[in-house]
Amino acid sequence: MVKWLGYDYGTALYASDYFDFMYRAAELLISEGHAYVDSQSAEQVQLNRGSFTEPGNNSPDRERKIDDNLALFREMRDGQHADGAHVLRAKIDMASPNINMRDPTLYRIKRGTHHRTGDKWCIYPMYTYAHPIEDAVEGITHSLCTLEFEDQRPFYDWLLNKLADGGMLKRPLPQQIEFARVNLTHVVLSKRKLLQLVEEGHVDGWDDPRMPTLAGARRRGYTAEGFRTFAERIGVSKANQTIDFSTLEDCMREHLNEVAPRRMAVLDPVKLVIENYPQGQEEMCLVPNHPQKPDWGKREVPFSGELWIEREDYQEAPAKGYFRLFPGNTVRLRYGYVVKCTGYDKATDTVRCVYHADSKSGTAGADNYKVKGNIHWVSARHAISAQVCLYDRLFNMPLPESAEHLNPDSKKLVTAFLEPALQDSLAEQPIQFERHGYFIVDQKDAATFNRTVSLRDSWATTKSA
């Protein structure tokens, strides 16, 4: 995913490669009087830690002699003590207002086969101890963390300075810098809550296109370029903020508009019959692949006397300002002919019309007809049928708390008719279905198209209507 986003992380690094160094660093801290083995139970350690308003109490083992601490720590390393019998703690300040500085745990006894080091170790470093050492060993200059690590920075600095004073690290040392994490409306980003969605079957796995995961976003058709634009647009802040989901969608639209060729697709089909079109005749219409990019050329789209159009493009009794098909009204079939609606046959569920044979787009006669409506279509004889997943926001509340706020319309599956050029669509090739939005072939089912994003943000208007 890092590479997909456009970056190269170099060689994969593993914390377990530094376990020997971390162990030696722990012995240095013990030798310098900065760490001790604590034999209290986990419950006693927690009880003596104090609270945000009360200082902690020193462990009875805090003044254990250095030689005894070293001997006991080596026994822990050699497997002579049971899990949980002892821990190694830093000796800092049990009265510190920052609870993270109240003699934090550095090592614990934990038997278990490690996926890289096997059974070599039965003691393992805690994350807060390993993290700064990893940064220093790897030559990190600025360690970027989210705000929840801000209270850990004093220990981060304390540990690295003690190891530098002891000659194990060189200065300058890494600096930890914190920033606010990204929060988005209409999704949850908590791993616990996302796991709940997966385990309870509310979504179809971690790569469900509605999930706020990179795997899901990629399957939905979100692009790396769109994510980079999003990151640049929202910037970095120390203040927690919630970004409206529409900001992310706008960034995706901007990029997709530039790279997605146009195609015609009918998602809610009703048949349009041209009554005076020669029976059995078919012809080609020249259609631009991208209206703003003439260098992309044009393609041939088959046209015939029976077409699929969107059901919403016909109204028996038109609403005010409706300029598409209704009895007596004239519209242009996009890139094709001008037609006049003659009515609707309920028995066959077909809209009927007649066409003007001299009105084809791109011909001299096309300018003789001025119409307000322009609708897209697909030739019924040549159309390919496909499943289309219409994805929307996962939650219907801007700041959801639980599965109770799931949007029941976040996924709709429809059978659509597509122009034949979409038969050989490639995975991860974004496509604009004219008037509908941007779509992509599903990575797990080449016969299904996923809607990435609509052409405009209609969420607020739709939900307030």
What is the CATH classification number for the domain harbouring 310? 2.40.240.10
User: Is residue 25 included in any domain, yes or no?
Assistant: yes
Question: Is the domain of 114 the same as that of 44?
Answer: yes
Instruction: Round the average pLDDT of the chain to a whole number and report it.
Output: 95
C-alpha dist (Å) from residue 100 to 87, 142, 179, 221: 16, 21, 19, 42
| Pairing mode, strands 105-109 and 123-125 | antiparallel
Question: Is the domain of 430 the same as that of 449?
Answer: yes
User: Is residue 6 included in any domain, yes or no?
Assistant: no
pLDDT of 132: 98
Q: What is the pTM of this model?
A: 0.85
Instruction: List strands edge to edge, sheet with 431-433.
Output: 262-263, 431-433, 437-441, 448-453, 384-391, 411-418, 265-266
* 298 CB burial (10 A radius; 0-12, 13-18, 19+): middle
Question: Is the domain of 225 the same as that of 114?
Answer: no
Share of the chain above pLDDT 70, in %: 98
Is there a contact between 450 and 209 (Cβ–Cβ < 8 Å)? yes
Give residue 459's pLDDT band: very low, low, confident or very high (50, 70, 90): low
User: Is residue 5 included in any domain, yes or no?
Assistant: no
Question: Is the domain of 246 the same as that of 270?
Answer: no
pLDDT of 465: 36
CATH number, domain of 440, equals 1.10.1160.10
Q: Which residues contact 267 (CB under 8 A, 6 or more apart)?
A: 310, 388, 390, 414, 416, 433, 436
Task: Please say if the pLDDT value at position 88 is more than 90.
Answer: yes
Of the three residues 341, 376, 411, the one that is the final residue of a domain is: 376
Question: Bridge-partner residues for 266, per DSSP?
Answer: 417
Is there a contact between 127 and 19 (Cβ–Cβ < 8 Å)? no
pLDDT tens, position by position, 143-173: 999 999 999 999 999 999 999 999 999 999 9
Task: Please say if the pLDDT value at position 79 is more than 80.
Answer: yes
Q: How far apart are CA 88 and CA 75, in angstroms?
A: 12
pLDDT of 9: 85
Question: Bridge-partner residues for 200, per DSSP?
Answer: none
Angle between helices 19-31 and 66-77 (to 10 degrees): 160
Question: Is the domain of 25 the same as that of 161?
Answer: yes
In the structure encoding, which two tokens stand for residue 34, read together? Answer: 């900065």
In the structure encoding, which two tokens stand for residue 421, read together? Answer: 């050029």
Task: Please say if the pLDDT value at position 463 is more than 70.
Answer: no
**What is the extent of the structural domain holding 52?**
15-138+155-172
Domain count along the chain = 3
Is there a contact between 92 and 103 (Cβ–Cβ < 8 Å)? yes
Q: Which amino acid is at 257?
A: N
In the structure encoding, which two tokens stand for residue 180, read together? Answer: 């606010």
In the structure encoding, which two tokens stand for residue 355, read together? Answer: 């066409």
Is there a contact between 107 and 26 (Cβ–Cβ < 8 Å)? yes
User: Is residue 43 included in any domain, yes or no?
Assistant: yes
User: Is residue 143 included in any domain, yes or no?
Assistant: no
Give residue 240's pLDDT band: very low, low, confident or very high (50, 70, 90): confident
pLDDT of 287: 97
Q: Which residues contact 380 (CB under 8 A, 6 or more apart)?
A: 271, 304, 306, 307, 308, 417
Question: Is the domain of 260 the same as that of 341?
Answer: no
Question: Is the domain of 31 the same as that of 124?
Answer: yes
Mean pLDDT, residues 188-208 taken together: 95
Question: Is the domain of 415 the same as that of 287?
Answer: no
Question: Is the domain of 272 the same as that of 237?
Answer: no
pLDDT tens, position by position, 351-379: 999 999 999 999 998 999 999 999 999 99
User: Is residue 3 included in any domain, yes or no?
Assistant: no
Q: Which residues contact 195 (CB under 8 A, 6 or more apart)?
A: none
Question: Is the domain of 361 the same as that of 273?
Answer: yes
Mean pLDDT, residues 177-199 taken together: 93
Instruction: Quickly tell me which residue has 């990151």 as its tokens.
Output: 231
pLDDT tens, position by position, 260-314: 999 999 999 999 999 999 999 999 999 999 999 999 999 999 999 999 999 999 9
User: Is residue 104 included in any domain, yes or no?
Assistant: yes
Question: Is the domain of 26 the same as that of 123?
Answer: yes
pLDDT of 458: 66
User: Is residue 416 included in any domain, yes or no?
Assistant: yes
Of the three residues 347, 376, 405, the one that is the final residue of a domain is: 376
If DSSP states are collapsed to H, E and C, what string results for the chain? CCCCCCCCCCCCCCHHHHHHHHHHHHHHHHHCCCEEEECCCHHHHHHCCCCCCCCCCCCCCCCCCHHHHHHHHHHHHCCCCCCCCCEEEECCCCCCCCHHHCCCEEEEECCCCECCCECCCCEEECHHHHHHHHHHHCCCCEEEEEHHHHHHHHHHHHHHHHHHHCCCCCCCCCEEEEECCCEECCCCCCHHHHHHHHHCCCCCCCCCCCCCCHHHHHHHCCCHHHHHHHHHHHCCCCCCCEECHHHHHHHHHHHHHHHCCEECEECCEEEEEECCCCCCCEEEEEEECCCCCHHHCEEEEEEECEEEEEHHHECCCCCCCCCCECCCCEEEECCCCEEEEEEEECCCCEEEEEECCCCCCCCHHHHHCCCCEEECCEECCCCEEEEEEEECCCECCCCCCCHHHECCCCEEEEEEEECHHHHHCCCCCCEEECCCEEEEECCCCCCEEEEEECCCCCHHHHHHC
Question: Bridge-partner residues for 137, per DSSP?
Answer: none
CATH number, domain of 94, equals 3.90.800.10
Question: Is the domain of 284 the same as that of 371?
Answer: yes
Is there a contact between 103 and 62 (Cβ–Cβ < 8 Å)? yes
